[in-house]
Structure 1
Amino acid sequence: MIVPDISQNAAAVADHYDELDPIYRRVWGEHVHHGLWTTGRETPGEAVEALVDTVGDRLGLVPGQMCVDIGCGYGATARRLAVTRGVRVTGFTLSAEQARYAAEHPVPGVDVHVRDWLDNGLADASADAAWAIESSEHMVDKPRFFAEAHRVLSPGGRFVICAWLAETHASGWKVRHLLEPICREGRLPSMGTREEYEAMVVAAGFTVTGYEDVSRRVSRTWMICAGRLVKALLVDRETRRVALGARNRGAVLSIPRLILAYRTRAMHYGIFTLSKAGAEDGEAARQVKAGAAVRPR
């Protein structure tokens, strides 16, 4: 596990996203995650939605299901899956700014809370499906992150995780100059390898039903972000003020590191598909909950 030389916690993650909110929305847009290119001809917006749709496909979402978006950001993924799949979604974010934006862009069936997933308040077996797109990296206690997902999911429920992963047995220079600074500048308490994630998944009680390394299909995201950032710095005073004066301005430095981390294979992007045992019981539970929303206590 790659751990930054300065300890990170949930408050630091929240501060990071609140302070850099103007830059994130301008550089990454409302989804705040990688795009997924299949043909190579997709626009950045199409690629971002393709990643969301891939998550929906791997979850096997059907109308009426109760879902949880762990680390929902601005709620864009929740909104898209609610509209296109007919599901209801409870989202969790640490950022008050992200929740404010989500509240200003409401969609029926989507409910966003400013709350730490590690203290989510959801009832046992209250959700049919869950996803975490690039949020597991921000979890201070990753085993508990998986354990909470397992507790909240109904028997037979599915969980999809899109994660930044460290290269297995990464060399010393990759750790020192790429992976550790990426964790520190991006407020990641740790970055695990595929093997470390799978060990935590199994320990939490999940079965890994699928894994795909899509690093080459997502990595161009960072060249696009770099171009957008340079343009914003040239034309927008607010972007310059935040990027140069913010407490969290180190995140800007991570963009070239991320480009190099992908090119050197120091970092990977993996999509895990997990399942909780008990599919037959899970279907019965879904019938009981039909029409009811998942809400924290």
Structure 2
Amino acid sequence: MIVPNISQDAVAVADHYDDLDPVYRRVWGDHVHHGLWATGREAAAEAVEALVDKVGDRLRLMPGEACVDIGCGYGSTARQLAVTRGVRVTGFTISAEQADYAAAHPVPGVDIRLRDWLVNGLPDASVDAAWAIESSEHMVDKPRFFDEAHRVLLPGGRFVVCAWLAGTDARGWKVRHLLEPICREGRLPSMGTREEYEAMAMAAGFTVEGYEDVSRRVARTWTVCARRLVKALLVDRETRRLALGARNRIFILSIPRLILAYRTGAMRYGIFTLTKARENGAPHGPGTPTQPEPA
């Protein structure tokens, strides 16, 4: 597990997103996550929606199901899946700015709550499916992140996690100059490997049904962000004021680090498909192997 040399907590995470809120939306939009490219010719907006569709497919969502979006950002994923799949979604964010934006863009069947997932207050065995798109990285207690998901899911429930991951063999300069600063500048309390995530998921009681490394298909996100940000800083006085005046402006330095981290393999992007055992079944134990799926 990669841990930053300055510890990060939920307060720092919330401040990061509240502070950078106008910059994120100006530069990237209201989906605060990577895009997923199939051909490389898709627009960024199409790519971010493609990642959401991938999650919906992995979850095998059915109309009327109750779902949870863990770390829901502006609620865009929740709204998209509520509209396209006919599900009901409860989303959790610790950013007041994100919660306010979501409240100003309501969709039937979507309830966005300003609350920490680790103390979510949902009843046991109350939802059919859950997802976490790039929010597990911000969890101070990752084992509890998985424990809470397992607790609130019904038997047979599905859970998909899209995560920034440290390369299994990342060492030396890749950690010192890429992964540790990315964690520190991006307010990530830690960054785990694929193996660490699977171990935590299975310890919580999940079966790991699948894993897909889509690093090559999402890495384009950061070159698009870099190009847009540079252009905005040069030509848009308001974006320049917001970005350079932000308390968390150091995150700008992470953009070239992220580009290099993907290109060197120091960082990976993985999609985990997990299930909670049915009442008459048993979850896999820690020794159960899983096979990677083609990207």
Please give the TM-score of this superposition, normalised by the length of structure 1. 0.93
Rounded to whole Å, the distance in 2 between the matches of 1:42 and 1:241 is: 30
Aligned to 1:287: none
Aligned to 1:9: 9
* Identity across the alignment (%): 82
Rounded to whole Å, the distance in 1 between the matches of 2:235 and 2:113 is: 34
Q: Helix, strand or coil: the match of 1:161?
A: strand
Aligned to 1:172: 172
Aligned to 1:290: none
Aligned to 2:235: 235
The 5 Å alignment of 1:254-265 reads 254-265=254-265
Does 1:187 pair with 2:187?
yes
Aligned to 2:128: 128
Runs of 4+ aligned structure 1 residues displaced above 4 Å come to none
Contact kept in structure 2, 1:35 and 1:218, CA below 8 Å:
yes
Aligned to 2:270: 270
The 5 Å alignment of 1:134-149 reads 134-149=134-149
Letter in 2 for 1:261: A
State the Cα distance separating 1:280 from its structure 2 match. 7.3
The 5 Å alignment of 1:152-171 reads 152-171=152-171
Aligned to 1:295: none
Does 1:64 pair with 2:64?
yes
Rounded to whole Å, the distance in 2 between the matches of 1:14 and 1:242 is: 17
Any gaps of 5 or more consecutive residues in structure 2? 282-295
Does 1:30 pair with 2:33?
no
Question: Number of residue pairs matched?
Answer: 281
Contact kept in structure 2, 1:242 and 1:249, CA below 8 Å:
no
CA RMSD of superposed structures (Å):
1.1
Rounded to whole Å, the distance in 2 between the matches of 1:17 and 1:222 is: 18
Q: Helix, strand or coil: the match of 2:90?
A: strand
1:274-294 C-alpha deviation (Å, 9 max, x unpaired): 00000779xxxxxxxxxxxxx
Any gaps of 5 or more consecutive residues in structure 1? 282-297
Rounded to whole Å, the distance in 1 between the matches of 2:58 and 2:117 is: 22
Letter in 1 for 2:54: T
Rounded to whole Å, the distance in 1 between the matches of 2:279 and 2:24 is: 39
Aligned to 2:248: 248
Rounded to whole Å, the distance in 2 between the matches of 1:238 and 1:21 is: 13
Please give the TM-score of this superposition, normalised by the length of structure 2. 0.94
Q: Helix, strand or coil: the match of 1:208?
A: strand
Does 1:150 pair with 2:150?
yes
